[in-house]
């Protein structure tokens, strides 16, 4: 399979709000926010009113594609070419995650099963591992 990844990932750095999430990605874990009282799982990027009511919990890192699109750009010869695929993945636990999809992009992808892999977002030590999704 030829992956469409001609545009490198944008280097990502942690801050106080994302530190635990990126600790998880460095370990190869996809973390979700869990409401301690109700057990409701939220996507990692969901803003919460009171951090004390939530904890980070490991998810399976698996899901299915809800929607996707190919992002096009121009190569060195100025030809329009596919550069990468973006997808909305419904995680097995319920939350939706917007992601880069690693695939050749030639088949219909809606409904396809996927799993998370963790790619370093840049070359510097402070650049974090980020989840991208791959077809099963």
| Residue 5 confidence (pLDDT) | 47
Residue closest to 105 by CA, chosen among 58, 70, 57: 70
Assigned domain for 11 exists: no
pTM: predicted TM-score of the whole model, two decimal places: 0.85
Cβ neighbours for 55, distance < 8 A, ≥ 6 positions apart: 33, 34, 36
| Residue 106 confidence (pLDDT) | 64
| Residue 67 confidence (pLDDT) | 95
Q: Identify the domain containing residue 100 by its residue range.
A: 19-135
| Residue 54 confidence (pLDDT) | 93
Assigned domain for 32 exists: yes
Residues in the chain where the model's pLDDT stays below 50: 1-6
Assigned domain for 56 exists: yes
| Residue 113 confidence (pLDDT) | 97
Cβ neighbours for 6, distance < 8 A, ≥ 6 positions apart: 73, 75, 81, 83, 84
Assigned domain for 14 exists: no
Assigned domain for 121 exists: yes
Assigned domain for 1 exists: no
| Residue 47 confidence (pLDDT) | 86
In the chain, how many domains are there?
1
| Residue 8 confidence (pLDDT) | 62
């Amino acid at each position: 399979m030829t992956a469409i990844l001609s545009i490198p990932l944008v280097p990502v750095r942690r801050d106080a709000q994302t530190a635990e999430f990126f600790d998880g990605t460095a370990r190869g874990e996809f973390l979700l926010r869990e409401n301690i009282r109700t057990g409701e799982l939220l996507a990692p990027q969901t803003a919460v009113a009171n951090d004390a009511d939530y904890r980070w919990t490991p998810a399976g890192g698996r899901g299915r594609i809800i929607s996707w699109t190919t992002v096009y750009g121009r190569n060195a010869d100025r030809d329009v070419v596919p550069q990468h695929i973006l997808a909305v993945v419904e995680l097995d636990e319920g939350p939706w995650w917007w992601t880069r999809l690693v695939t050749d992009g030639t088949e219909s992808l809606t409904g396809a099963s996927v799993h998370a892999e963790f790619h370093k977002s840049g070359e510097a030590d402070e650049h974090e591992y980020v989840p991208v999704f791959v077809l099963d």
